[in-house]
Structure 1
Amino acid sequence: MTVRVGVLGATGAVGQRLIQLLDPHPEFEIAALTASDASVGETYKDAAKWRVNSPIPEDVAGLEVRATDPDSVPDDVGLIFSSLPSSVGAEVEPEFCEAGYTVSSNSSNARMDEDVPLIIPEVNADHVDLLEVQRDERGWDGALLKNPNCSTITMVPPLAALDREFDLTDVRVSTLQAVSGAGYSGVTSMEIIDNAIPHIGGEEQKMESESRKLLGSFDGAEVQLNEMDVAASCNRIPTLDGHLENVWADTAEDISAADAEAAMESVTGIDLPSSPEKLITVFEEPDRPQPRLDRNVEDGMGVAVGGFRETTDGVQFNCLAHNTMRGAAGASVLNGELLNKRGYL
């Protein structure tokens, strides 16, 4: 059965990606779009400065933009996708949950709340049942599910493959992040052209905390954070899309570069429409992956890895994912599919 869905923050960069993915989706039908008060009452075509690299869907262009308020969304909407700024999401998303809506959110607020599942379905789908705890504790008829930060989601699938077989102890990561991760107006051309910015506010902390939650264990009542130590340094560079990351992973068990490649190569997707057949693509070439060449691996939903070499206590490798597809809109859609499959809608 088709699930009618709404998109909060539909005119923004991630909101537009959500619409691009949802319009042809086999399980979801777009029924409601919301944006800021300045856009309410306009058609979506007039309200959104469409910047996605495909035409605006015809059946979405004429929809009227609604207020970002539970009372403005039809009762028959079974799932809400949120791409709101975190300051807005922190206030609005609980209101939707209290009103009975289930929310799959890309916003950074509440990701580390003890009763909010933070999910990459191919990594920790079992954490979705934390929603039962959440509903009991908060008295919600709805529910709130989060996908992680776009830089976190790039490195965690490869790390999960290593942790499962070799037990991670320490992770160090340095990122080279695309400008689209800051939104259309997030970084000016004068800041980023001929430059690199060695700081992205709050990004390091997100990678360090979210990865431990994603790789933690769920006992039916709470998530125990993974005990590995994680340190991140995040940098903005002048690429449009695709976050490239240099990762150093120390393991308790002995590991070779070939072991690491084999562990990642064996990872497959799961039975959800947006999950790729092969989650991790391993490149043998020493100069891959590269953002321009490899960000669209598996239609933008895969993770590319390469550059493996052995270190004193583990391995070093490079990983790459499309930050607005796998790292944002695609991740939210995938979580929505998980909610639908597990009967939470």
Structure 2
Amino acid sequence: MTVRVGVLGATGAVGQRLIQLLEPHDDFEIAALTASDDSAGKSYREAAKWRVDSPIPESVAETTVTATDPDEVPDDVDLLFSSLPSSVGEAVEPAFCEAGYVVSSNSSNARMAEDVPLVIPEVNADHLDLLDVQRDERGWNGALVKNPNCSTITFVPTLAALEAAGYDLRRIHVATLQAVSGAGYDGVTSMEIIDNAVPYIGGEEDKLETESRKLLGDFDGAELSLNDFEVAASCNRIPTLDGHLENVFVEGADDISPSGAKQAMRDYPSLDLPSSPDPLIHVFDQPERPQPRLDRNLGDGMAVAAGGFRESTFGLQYNCLAHNTIRGAAGASVLNGELLLSEGYL
């Protein structure tokens, strides 16, 4: 079964990554591209300043971009991938859901809404059933599912692996070293970031601290309760292009040994979905790995890498890394689309 899909916000950085990942996908056929009113009516080649590290796919280059409006998207499109700015997505995504479209969104709006599933398929695929609650409460024929923030996606699978191995997590501290691509092409100027590090990313700490507890919370079929561990985050922008590196400190109810943590992450399973890498977590024994330039493309950019495991006075310490625009954004939305298809929501 080939599903006809569309991309909302197709000309932006994440929209371009979505095009790159969707064009060769066996299950998805790109049938609609939307952008701002300034781009509507132009060919995708004209509208998009293509900056992805592969040529613009010829199969979509001459597709006419439409306005981001439910009336402009064909009725036979089954799934929409959204990379809209959150301020736009907040108003537009519900309108598409009301019109009957299923939306897999990377936008930050509504991630913490009680009836919106926030999903990393390998971590909490069962939370997708929250869509039944959402449809009942909102009267939608469509549906809205979110993937989390790129920095949250990086460390939550490692925490899920520790919990799956039976460790009772109490407190987590995480310091992020985030690539400039996470701010978008025009987000950080060269004069700001070259020979520098910026120890502040607006709103980012709150996303790590809240989204992680929702992702690892419990869904009882009617409502979702947040995980009761505590998370404190510090977020920093550094001059790497892609790949968010994070320093994680974990305190459990009992001691977590480095060897036990490594085994838990090696044992943590992938999923039988096209974009889910095997292994999901690539564990390094070398203390100096992972590194963004060397390891961000593991598993075609969809794997999480972990290394530098050691005991500290706080508890377990390790580092983890993921490609922020693939696993952390566009690839996460595509993976959620694959889960929606496999679970019969399309």
Fold shared by both chains (TM-score > 0.5): yes
SS of 2:38's partner is: helix
Aligned pairs, how many?
A: 345
* Unaligned residue ranges in structure 1 (runs of 5+): none
Q: Is the Cα–Cα contact under 8 Å of residues 251 and 313 in structure 1 kept in the other structure?
A: no
Counterpart Cα distance in 2 of 1:80 and 1:174: 33
Match of 1:315 in 2: 316
Q: What's the offset of the Cα at 1:253? A: 2.5
In structure 1, distance between residues paired with 2:134 and 2:228: 24
Cα distance in 2 for partners of 1:253, 1:336 equals 38
Distance in 2 separating the partners of 1:270 and 1:148: 18
Contact map agreement 1:119 1:214 (CA 8 A) in 2: yes
Q: For the residues of structure 2 that align with 1:170 and 1:160, how far apart are their CA atoms?
A: 14
Give the 5 Å matches for 1:143-182: 143-164=143-164, 165-182=166-183
Q: How far apart in 2 are the matches of 1:65 and 1:324?
A: 22
Deviations 1:211-253 (CA, angstroms, capped at 9, x unpaired): 0000001100111100000000000000000000000011113
Matched, 1:8 2:8: yes
2: distance between equivalents of 1:100 and 1:167?
Answer: 41
What one-letter code is carried by the residue in structure 1 that aligns with 2:198? I
**Separation (CA, whole Å) in 1 of partners of 2:268 and 2:147:** 20
Q: Distance in 2 between matches of 1:180 and 1:313?
A: 32
Deviations 1:184-231 (A, max 9, x none): 000001100110000000000000000000000110011110000000
In the aligned structure 2, how far is the partner of 1:330 from the partner of 1:133?
A: 26
Structure 2: where are the runs of 5+ without partners? none
Which residue does 1:213 correspond to in 2? 214
Please report how far the alpha carbon of residue 180 of structure 1 lies from its aligned counterpart in structure 2 after TM superposition.
Answer: 0.1
Q: What code does the residue aligned with 1:45 have?
A: R
The one-character-per-residue Cα deviations of 1:18-61 (angstroms, maximum 9, x if unpaired) are 00000000100000000001000000001000000011101100
Hey, what does 2:123 align to over in structure 1? 123
What is the Cα deviation at residue 268 of structure 1? Answer: 2.3
* 2:142 paired residue number: 142
Aligned to 1:196: 197
Deviation at 1:130, TM superposition (A): 0.1
Q: Counterpart of 1:119 in 2: which secondary structure?
A: coil
**1:318-329 counterparts in 2 under 5 A?**
318-329=319-330
Q: What is the distance in 1 between the residues matched to 2:94 and 2:208?
A: 24
Residues in 2 aligned to 1:206 and 1:41: alpha-carbon distance in whole angstroms: 36
Other-structure match for 2:300: 299
Report the CA distance between 1:292 and its aligned residue: 0.3
More divergent stretch after superposition (137-146 vs 156-165): 156-165
Q: Is the 8 A contact 1:147 1:331 kept in 2?
A: yes
Helix, strand or coil: the match of 1:287?
Answer: coil
> In structure 2, what is the Cα distance between the partners aligned to 1:318 and 1:327?
16
Describe how 1:1-345 pairs up with structure 2 within 5 A: 1-164=1-164, 165-312=166-313, 314-345=315-346
Q: 4+ residue stretches of structure 1 with deviation over 3 A?
A: none
Q: Deviations over 1:40-97 (max 9, x none)?
A: 0000001000000011101100100000000000000000000000000000000000
Answer yes or no: is the 8 Å Cα contact 2:249–2:314 preserved in 1. Answer: no
Q: 1:324: Cα distance to partner?
A: 0.1
**Alpha-carbon contact 1:173-1:246 (below 8 Å) kept:** yes
Distance 1:117 1:278 in 2: 25
The structural deviation recorded for 1:313 is 5.1
AA matched with 2:91: E
SS at match of 2:276: coil
- Aligned CA RMSD, in angstroms, stands at 0.6
Which shifted more, 240-249 or 265-274?
265-274
The CA deviation string for residues 163-191 of structure 1, in whole angstroms up to 9 with x for no partner, is 22201100000000000000000000110
Q: Among all aligned residue pairs of Structure 1 and Structure 2, give the percentage whose two residues are the same amino acid.
A: 75
